[in-house]
Amino acid sequence: MRTLVALTLPIALLAVARGGDAQLPEAKLVPLKPGEPAVVDLVGLDKDVLAALRAAKLSPAEWAKYCRVVVDRGTPEEVAARPPVAGTWSVTADALRFEPQFPLVPGVSYKITCRLHDIPQMKPRPDGFSISLLVPKPPPGPPTSVTAVYPSGNRLPENTLRLYFHFSGQMTRGDIYQHVKLIRDDGVEVVSPFLEIDEELWSVDGLRVTFLFHPGRVKQGLVPREELGPILEAGRRYSLVIGRDWKDAADRPLAAEVRKTFSAGPPDDEPVNPDTWTLIPPRAGSDAPVIIRLAKPLDRALLGSMLWVTDSTGARVPGEVTVGGGERVVTFAPAKPWRAGEYKLVVDTRLEDVCGNRVGEPFEVDATKLAGRKVEAKTAERRFGVR
C-alpha cells in the first residue's frame, strides 16, 4: 500500500503540472537598470519548479541546452535553424529570468522555449513550455523630415565639395546615396554625383549626414570628369532632390520630398581670408553679439567650432556662436555683458569654405611646394575693440 502511494504521488504531481499547462508562464519585459536592456521575466511558474531550477545551478552552457529565446519569423525550419538570442538565464524569487545582451526589438516576435523536462537535475521532471513574446511598438511620433540643407544659399560654386542634410529624427542607413538625386535644368539626372562612402558620414547624434560631391569630377582634365562629365557647370540651374523613399528608423517614408534649387557659379579656388571679413563690434556693457560678415559662405559645421573670441589676457570669452545669412554671417554672443577693452576673433586655419579651401590654403595644392610643410593647428586673428 505504501509503495502504491509513493508511486502515485509523482503521477499526481505531474498531473498538476500538466493541468498547469493551461496556465503557461507569462513573459514580462521588466526594465531593471536605466541604460540596460529590459529583462524577460517568466512569471507564473510553480514555486517548486523555480526552487529546483535554482538548486540545479546550471552553467551558462547548460542553460543554453535547455532554454532559448529565438526570433520567431519565417518558416518553422528557419526558426529552428536560427541561433538563439544572446543573453543569460537565471532564477529570481518568483521568475525564470532571461537577460538579453541587446534590448529586444519592438515589433519583433520572439519564441521562448524551455525544455525543463530535459534537465536531469530536475526531480520530479516538470513540463517544458514554449511561449511567444511580442514586444509592443510604441505609438509612432510625427514622421521624420529634413530640417535643413547646407550650403543654404541658392548659388553654389561649381566646385562645391560638401553638403549637409539635417533630419528631425534617426534615418535608415546602408543605401543612403540612392535616395538623393541631382537634376540639371534640362531634366537630365547627373550620374553618380556623390562620393559614395560605405561607412556613411553621420554626425554623432545621427541627425546629420555629410555628402561629398565627387572631387575628381570638379576639375577639367581629370579622368572621372572625362568619363562621367562634370557635376555642376557654371551658368546652369540644378535641383537637389531628397526622395521620400528614404525611410526613417521607424521604417516610414520622409514627411515630404525636399527639393533645393540652385544655380552654379564659377569655381572658387580662393583660400579663406579672414582679413576680408567685416566685424561689427558691440558696445561695452551690452550683451549684443559681435557680428562678423564673411566674404563668402563658409562650411556650416566648421563655423560652429573653428571661431572663438579671446580677451586682452588671451582667455577665451564664454559665449555662443550662431551662423546665419546663408552661412555668410556669424555672430558671437557673450555669456556675460561685454567689458570695454581689446578682443580678438580667433580663427582655426582649418576652417573651410564650401569648396574645401582652407584659411591660407586652397583645396588643391601644388605638390612641388609641399616639402617641409607641417600639419599644424594654426590660428588667424582679427582684432576688435569694445568701447
Partner 1 sequence: MRSKLFAAAVVLVATTAARADDGLTKGTPDIKSVSALAFGPKGLLFIGDPQSATIFAVDTGDAKPAGDKAVSVERIDAKLAGVLGTTEKEIRVNDLKVNPASGNVYLAVTRGTGAGQPAIVRLTRTDAVEVVSLKEVPYAKVKLPNPAEGKGAATVVTSMAFLPEGVQVGNGRLIVAGLSNEQFASTLRAINYPFKDADKGTGIEIFHGAHGKIETHAPIRTFVAYKVGKDDTLMAAYTCTPLVKVPVADLKAGEKVKGTTIAELGNRNNPLDMIVYTKDGKDYLLVANSDRGVMKIPTDGFAAAEPITERPKTPTAGVKYETVSELKGVTQLDKLDDARAVLLVKTDAGLDLKTIPLP
**Interacting residues with partner 1 between 358 and 387 (CB under 8 A):** 363-368, 370, 373-376
Among 70, 91, 95, 290, binds partner 1 (CB under 8 A): 70
Minimum distance between the CB of residue 129 and partner 1, rounded to whole angstroms?
20
Q: Which of residues 291-320 bind partner 1 (CB under 8 A)?
A: 299, 301-302, 304-306
Among 69, 96, 114, 254, binds partner 1 (CB under 8 A): 69
Q: Does 212 bind partner 1 (CB under 8 A)?
A: yes
Bond prior to 142 in cis (omega within 30° of 0): no
Q: Which of residues 339-358 bind partner 1 (CB under 8 A)?
A: 350, 352, 356
Minimum distance between the CB of residue 87 and partner 1, rounded to whole angstroms?
8
Q: Does 279 bind partner 1 (CB under 8 A)?
A: no
CB under 8 A: which stretch of 7-15, 69-77, 151-159, 260-268 binds partner 1? 69-77
**CB neighbour list of residue 224: distance below 8 Å, 6 or more residues apart:** 214, 216, 217
Q: Are 88 and 61 in contact (CB under 8 A)?
A: no
Q: Does 170 bind partner 1 (CB under 8 A)?
A: yes
3-state secondary structure of 368: helix
What grid cell was written down for 307? 571661431
Q: Are 322 and 364 in contact (CB under 8 A)?
A: no
Tell me the sheet residues that pair with 327. Answer: none
Q: Which of residues 72-91 bind partner 1 (CB under 8 A)?
A: 73, 78, 82-87
**385, amino acid identity:** G
Q: Which of residues 99-128 bind partner 1 (CB under 8 A)?
A: 100-105, 108, 110
Q: Which of 51, 47, 54 is nearest to 20 (CA)?
A: 47
Q: Which of residues 38-57 bind partner 1 (CB under 8 A)?
A: none
- As a residue count, the chain comes to 387
Q: What one-character-per-residue DSSP string does 133-170 give?
A: EEPPPPPP-SPP-EEEEES-SSEEETT--EEEEEESS-
Q: Which of 243, 244, 309, 255 is nearest to 282 (CA)?
A: 309
Q: Which of residues 172-201 bind partner 1 (CB under 8 A)?
A: 172-174, 192, 195-201
CB under 8 A: which stretch of 180-188, 214-222, 258-266, 326-334 binds partner 1? 214-222
Q: Does 20 bind partner 1 (CB under 8 A)?
A: no
